Amino acid sequence: MTTQENSTHGSYVTKGESFDRDMSYIDDRITRDGRDGWPVEAGRYRLIAARACPWANRTLISRRLLGLEDALSVGMPGPTHDKRSWTFDLDEGGVDPVLGYERLQQAYFARFPDYPRGITVPAVVDVPSRAVVTNDFQQITLDFTAEWTEHHRDGAPDLYPVAQRAEIDALSRWMLHRVNNGVYKVGFAGSQQVYEDEFRALWAALDELEERLGRSRYLLGPAITEADVRLFPTLIRFDPVYHGHFKANRQPLASMPNLWNYTKDLFTTPGFGDTVDFEQIKRHYYVVHEDINPTQVVPLGPDLSPLLEGHDRDRFETATWGPEGTAPQPPLAAEVVDPAHTPLHVSGR
């Protein structure tokens, strides 16, 4: 995702050092008033979001929950990338059918010919100019919620309620550094001491979330919010990737009752699990991270079928979609995850 992750294919660890994520992104925003020069317009923009990437996964979830499919098209690169860019190798001829590009890099260079940082997903591209608008993953989903309201579906949930925004923002900042990026700090640690420090910090944060989720169905109460959209992509990748590949292996997530049942709950909630492609997720991490998996062997396990078993979260007060919201419709036919990449088929059973 970051410059460090994209600058050299397979090189992510600096011996003796901590992992430092470059948090400098193109901070233009697409807004109702177009104050940055990018007004919200149905059909004008294309979201580029690889299913493999957790940061991109949250944009796919938000787009589904809010019903933005007709207003905002999506392009999905394949699960791997080289030192130059994510590529559209899943599309016919290896070319994005809307942008006409083989590489996401081309959209960045169309706007910034000497763009110096990593070519990251998610990114939103202006279709008429075929140039990137923003790759600020922290802001993109907030703007989907607050700026694209004219194009929300009937019954779309309010993922960023005004009364809870300060709490959501504070929790999101904490999760970013301690959990979402915390797993990378563990996996890309450059020394034993750095690894042990980051390992303990990550698990202290997960223990806090385990306790928190013993009090309510979702992170901030009876309804899903932006905070849940941000946490889920990390949790769903934990046992298949972070536990083993990143050595975050104090215990599997499946052994933590509240976090595991919360993950199962969201996985079976429309808009969450139907965006997850386990085959692409595992291939991305185990193939691209050559310095920590030089053989590029992709494991068959773990068995993910328990994700489809019942959960206990309905013991809490529940208003999943808010007071007037409803569940989203099924995904568009062209965006359905390959059934062979779902829990019953990816564990080598």
The binding site consists of 86
Please give the annotated binding residues for glutathione, written as ranges: 86
The overall longest dimension of the chain from CA atoms, in Å, is 54
Q: Which of 341, 193, 198 is nearest to 276 (CA)?
A: 341
CA atoms within 13 A on the CB side of 286: 19
Query: How far is the C-alpha of 222 from the C-alpha of 103, rounded, in Å?
Result: 41
In the chain the beta strands, taken as DSSP E runs, fall at 45-48, 73-75, 123-126, 131-134
Instruction: Tell me which of 12, 25, 45, 53 is the catalytic residue.
Output: 53
Ramachandran class of 37: left when φ > 0, alpha when ψ lies in -120 to 50, beta otherwise: left
Three-state secondary structure call for residue 225: coil
Q: How many CB atoms lie within 10 A of CB 144?
A: 29
Paired tokens of 199: 């390992």
Which DSSP string do the residues of 150-179 spell out, in sequence order?
Answer: GGPPTT---SS-GGGHHHHHHHHHHHIIII
Q: What is the distance between the alpha carbons of residues 156 and 179, in angstroms, rounded to a whole number? A: 27
Is 115 in the active site?
A: no
Residue tagged active-site, from 12, 25, 160, 184: 184
**Catalytic positions, please?**
53, 184
